Amino acid sequence: MKYFHLLIIICLFGCSPKEKQPELDYVKMDIFSVQTGKALSIIIDFERNILVFDNYGQMPNYPVEGEPIDFNIFNSELPLDFEYIQLQIEDINMLKKSINSDFLLSIIKNNNLYNKTHQDNFIRFEGLMYQLKIVPNGKKIFSTKNYIILSNKNSDQSILNVLNIIQKNSKSDKNKQYINFISHYLE
């Protein structure tokens, strides 16, 4: 009988729910809209429960020697606003379901396929192109070599889930409007 109480205590502690660790530590997605020419960058830090949304800054090309430099291009407003989002528990859980090892495997498969068949056919493409860097828990870092076109609907849905979380937490009307625009490519 004296071991019965000890057994019950062990069972109670053993049965308590444990928070599942994310399968990935860090994800950086650069998304380029071919139609608008705008690029954005999304960083998900699963260890700190942070999501960063930003304009993917690009410097304009300098003119050929002898042509005047238009300095107004350096003073123009950025197309998207920077957002630093401390994720809430429901957003973290959604991200863990969407951006996981299955997502990584589909990106690796898509990257390999795209690199084998790439023949500059993206020139006629009017959707979204991606460059991804993913750090799985304790494993080798994966990075796409170039911008790729995703052909997997599950990957599209995962990225759409991320965009929905950004839109829900965004304080910028400009960002919300742009996310609405690019989301239709993923639906």
**99-129 pLDDT tens trace:** 999 999 999 988 888 777 765 554 556 788 8
- For the segment 12-33, the average pLDDT, to the nearest whole number, is 72
In a domain, 4, yes or no: no
Report how far residue 78's alpha carbon sits from residue 64's, in angstroms, rounded to the nearest whole number: 24
Per-residue pLDDT band for 47 (boundaries 50, 70, 90) equals very high
CA dihedral (58, 62, 63, 67) positive or negative: positive
- Number of domains the chain is built from: 1
Report how far residue 17's alpha carbon sits from residue 67's, in angstroms, rounded to the nearest whole number: 66
Domain, as residue range, for 81 = 19-58+71-183
Q: Against a cut of 0.75, is the pTM above it?
A: yes
In a domain, 126, yes or no: yes
* Averaged pLDDT of the chain: 81
In a domain, 115, yes or no: yes
In a domain, 9, yes or no: no
In a domain, 134, yes or no: yes
In a domain, 64, yes or no: no
In a domain, 14, yes or no: no
Q: What is the pLDDT of residue 73?
A: 54
Report how far residue 120's alpha carbon sits from residue 84's, in angstroms, rounded to the nearest whole number: 35
**Residue 121: DSSP 8-state:** G
Q: What is the pLDDT of residue 150?
A: 83
In a domain, 63, yes or no: no
Report how far residue 43's alpha carbon sits from residue 130's, in angstroms, rounded to the nearest whole number: 13
Report how far residue 28's alpha carbon sits from residue 52's, in angstroms, rounded to the nearest whole number: 9
